[in-house]
């Protein structure tokens, strides 16, 4: 039975998250419904990560097993035809070895968060960025973020319902861009790690925003991390603006 890897992008706003749910729409559910339309009996879709409700993706990866061989281009076309009108698209397909697993074989995940600081409401980027109506000190945010890079116990920055066996993670990079935006500034966060905890990125960005406003000293982020106490975290920011940008593997999947 051939196995295929899929690269997927989606607008997370209509969904209760990636994971299949009995009574709410999910990205996994939409994909499995599309697979069921092209393959008798359907097939389970296994994703590289479980994005939360409202979180977007440009480079989610999943795998499926199908009872017959498909040309990669024809498979992507067939799935996209049956995904409509859901805001989900399969952007690449590749046949992979039977032992490949989208989640367990991943060696790196990259997330991007867009934060826009301006007084005026967002229009075009509404739902795809978090707007705050005050200026931000990006230099202070970068200073604070440096305390989080490396291997740490991230209990402070994970959800109380996180199911990960260990809160220890290695955060390889937090890069923060300061960009012009009409009527204000856009602050873009790029986070890279092998894996992330539930709400870890949103907890980090929400905390760094407090530093950017001057409400927190940069050193307070290191102090909060050291407490290993969820109550020491800053506010968890909304999912608007968060996107899973890329999942990497030991060898490129899609050329």
Please identify every residue annotated as catalytic.
52
Contacting residues for 237 by C-beta, under 8 A, at least 6 apart: 113, 115, 130, 202, 205, 206, 209
Q: What is the DSSP letter of 237?
A: P
**Alpha-helical segments (H) within the chain:** 27-38, 72-83, 138-145, 200-213, 218-227
CA distance 64 to 230: 36
What is the separation, in whole angstroms, between the first and last Cα of the chain?
Answer: 22
CA distance 76 to 97: 18
Which residues is 178 bridged to in the sheet?
187
């Amino acid at each position: 039975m051939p196995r295929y890897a899929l690269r997927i992008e989606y607008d997370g706003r209509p969904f209760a998250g990636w994971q299949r749910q009995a009574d709410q729409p999910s990205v996994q559910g939409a994909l499995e419904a599309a697979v069921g339309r092209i393959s008798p009996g359907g097939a389970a879709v296994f994703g590289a990560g479980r994005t939360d409700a409202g979180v977007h993706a440009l480079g989610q990866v999943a795998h499926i097993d199908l009872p017959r061989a498909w040309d990669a281009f024809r498979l992507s076309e067939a799935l996209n035809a049956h995904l409509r009108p859901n805001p989900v698209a399969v952007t690449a397909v590749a046949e992979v070895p039977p032992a490949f697993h989208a989640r367990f074989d991943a060696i790196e995940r990259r997330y991007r968060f867009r934060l826009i600081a301006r007084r005026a409401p967002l229009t075009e980027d509404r739902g795809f960025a978090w707007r705050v109506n005050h200026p931000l000190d990006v230099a202070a945010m970068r200073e604070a973020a440096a305390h989080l890079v490396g291997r740490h116990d991230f209990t402070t920055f994970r959800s109380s319902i996180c199911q990960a066996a260990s809160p220890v993670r290695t955060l390889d990079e937090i890069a923060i861009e300061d960009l012009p935006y009409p009527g204000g500034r856009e602050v873009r966060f790029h986070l890279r790690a092998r894996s992330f905890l539930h709400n870890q990125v949103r907890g980090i960005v929400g905390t760094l925003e407090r530093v950017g406003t001057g409400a927190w000293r940069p050193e307070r982020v290191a102090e909060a991390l050291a407490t290993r106490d969820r109550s020491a975290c800053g506010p968890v920011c909304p999912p608007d603006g968060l996107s899973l940008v890329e999942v990497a593997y030991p060898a490129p999947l899609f050329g």
